[in-house]
């Protein structure tokens, strides 16, 4: 290696060391860009792997299992034969039908905004499965009117179906009577 004339004041060994360090000095901007690209790729790979694991967990869910988003798998909708998921708990207060429908429509829970009041048939699925897995102990079974749950299925003259969760009895709800609401999606 030829000594660098601009480094005359340095010994030959020092000049060799300086040349080596100059040659091997990393391009910090390129290094950082490559590192960020690798970090993004790694994060995307981790997210894809997590999404795949979550999808498998949902596909293999049993009634009462808590889903990765915190909602609970409640069973199949008799009307659509699709999976229905419930919020982890009831609405905080008993509601009349119009208030409950607006509440469900505006609900942003467990990362989802597609909540609704269950149909009469879906409400019965919730009743049948109320003691399974994470659903157990989350429904009001004894105190009136809280043990009654509202459905979105209409009856005549502005009445809607309700179901008592202590024994499954179906009834009609007056438009002015507030009862419990458990929102579903799916």
Task: Tell me the pLDDT tens digit for each residue of 121-176.
Answer: 999 999 999 999 999 999 998 877 779 999 999 988 889 999 999 999 999 888 78
Phi, psi (rounded to 5 degrees) for 14: -65, -40
The answer to whether residues 49 and 76 belong to one domain is no
The answer to whether residues 106 and 127 belong to one domain is yes
The answer to whether residues 77 and 113 belong to one domain is yes
The answer to whether residues 97 and 18 belong to one domain is no
What count of residues does the chain have? 186
The answer to whether residues 37 and 97 belong to one domain is no
State the Cα torsion 155-161-167-168 to the nearest 10°.
80
The answer to whether residues 82 and 172 belong to one domain is yes
Query: What per-residue confidence (pLDDT) applies to 108?
Result: 94
- The answer to the question of residue 64 being in a domain is no
How high is the mean pLDDT of the chain?
85
Q: Based on the structure, what is the number of domains in the chain?
A: 2
The answer to whether residues 46 and 101 belong to one domain is no
What number is the average pLDDT over the span 48-69?
A: 87
The SS3 assignment for 148 reads strand
Domain that holds residue 150: 72-185
The answer to whether residues 43 and 93 belong to one domain is no
Q: Is the pLDDT of residue 71 over 60?
A: yes
Q: Say what the pTM is.
A: 0.73
CATH no. for residue 82?
3.10.100
pLDDT digits (tens, 9 = 90+) for 81-113: 999 999 999 999 999 999 999 999 999 999 999
The answer to whether residues 54 and 137 belong to one domain is no
Query: What per-residue confidence (pLDDT) applies to 3?
Result: 53
Query: What per-residue confidence (pLDDT) applies to 4?
Result: 53
């Amino acid at each position: 290696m030829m000594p660098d004339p601009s480094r005359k004041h340095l010994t030959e060994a020092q000049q060799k060391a300086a040349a080596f360090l100059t040659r091997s000095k990393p391009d910090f901007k390129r290094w950082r860009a490559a590192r960020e690209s690798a970090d993004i790729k790694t994060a995307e790979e981790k997210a894809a792997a997590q999404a795949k694991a979550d999808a498998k967990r949902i596909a293999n869910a049993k009634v009462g299992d808590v889903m990765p988003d915190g909602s609970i798998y409640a069973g199949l909708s008799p009307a659509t034969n699709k999976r229905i998921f419930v919020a982890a708990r009831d609405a905080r207060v008993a509601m009349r039908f119009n208030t409950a429908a607006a509440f469900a429509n505006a609900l942003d829970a467990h990362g989802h905004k597609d909540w609704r009041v269950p149909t009469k048939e879906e409400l019965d699925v919730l009743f049948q499965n109320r003691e399974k897995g994470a659903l157990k102990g989350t429904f009001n079974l004894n105190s009136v009117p809280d043990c009654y749950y509202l459905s979105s299925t209409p009856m005549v003259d502005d009445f809607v179906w309700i179901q008592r969760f202590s024994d499954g009895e179906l009834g009609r709800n007056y438009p002015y009577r507030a009862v419990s609401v458990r929102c579903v999606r799916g």
